[in-house]
Amino acid sequence: MTLITSAILIGTSSNLLADEEIAPAFGGLDDVVYSENLWTEMVTQHLVGPDALLSTPYEGQPPHGAILDTVDTRLTLRGNEGEVIIKRNYDGEGVSKLTVANDPTKYLKAVTVMYRRAGYDPENQDWFWVKYKPDGSLDVDSNGVELAGRIAKGMAEGCIACHRTAPGGDYVFNHDRYKTTSNIPGAPD
Ligand code: HEC
């Protein structure tokens, strides 16, 4: 009897998912498509890809790569104009600021991006998070879920949980330029 009941419950919840399209926190179809559109626009703006403009490489800290370079600007996508922060993560044998500056493509391991989407995730400063591989395809987490969206909202680890501790309340470590007046519970001043 118990078994039958839970079977019905499972059936009901998956119907709900199909009918009402309850969005998962990240890795759902909408987020994956959005991240693909974002990559295409970033290529067009020379922010990623073979013609990307480079900033000076610097030494990073975990969990991002040994050497990093970060660019920070605004970008319009599907009518949303928001801040975008693009961090390229470099690693591999012989990696250094000089070798990366000389041949960035050789050492590029990942491209991690924060893009502000109005109304997307008000509790977390509306950031859309993505981890791309160097070719623009999406990286996946240990469960095979694609890393695009509100990563990993409500969980103890992941982009949101860690960036939440950044000073200024804007979830950005590097500066407080996007500091807002909104009151985020638990965020440092
Ligand atoms: C355990 C902590 C931690 C996690 C998890 C983490 N980051 Fe970061 N991130 C940092 C720190 C610290 C910095 C600043 C220092 C640096 O440049 O490495 C940073 C910097 C960044 C920046 C540059 C803007 C800034 O905050 O200075 C971006 C973009 C970024 N991370 C994206 C991501 C994405 C996307 C994820 C998830 C896929 C992620 N991060 C997961 C700690 C984390």
The residue whose CA is least distant from atom 39 of ligand 1 is 159
Mean pLDDT of 165-169: 90
pLDDT of residue 46: 96
For 36-166, strand residue ranges (E) read 58-59, 67-77, 80-90, 108-116, 127-132, 148-149
**Is the CB of 63 within 6 Å of ligand 1?**
yes
**Is the CB of 87 within 6 Å of ligand 1?**
yes
If you measure from the C-alpha of residue 7 to the centroid of ligand 1, how many angstroms do you get, rounded to a whole number?
41
Cα 76–136–111 angle (5° rounding)?
80
What are 112's strand-pairing partners?
87, 131
Per the CB < 8 A criterion, the answer to whether 11 and 50 are in contact is no
Q: Taking the domains of the chain in order of start, what are their residue ranges? A: 25-163
If you measure from the C-alpha of residue 162 to the centroid of ligand 1, how many angstroms do you get, rounded to a whole number?
8
pLDDT of residue 180: 59
**Per-residue pLDDT reduced to its tens digit, 69-104:** 999 999 999 999 999 999 999 999 999 999 999 999
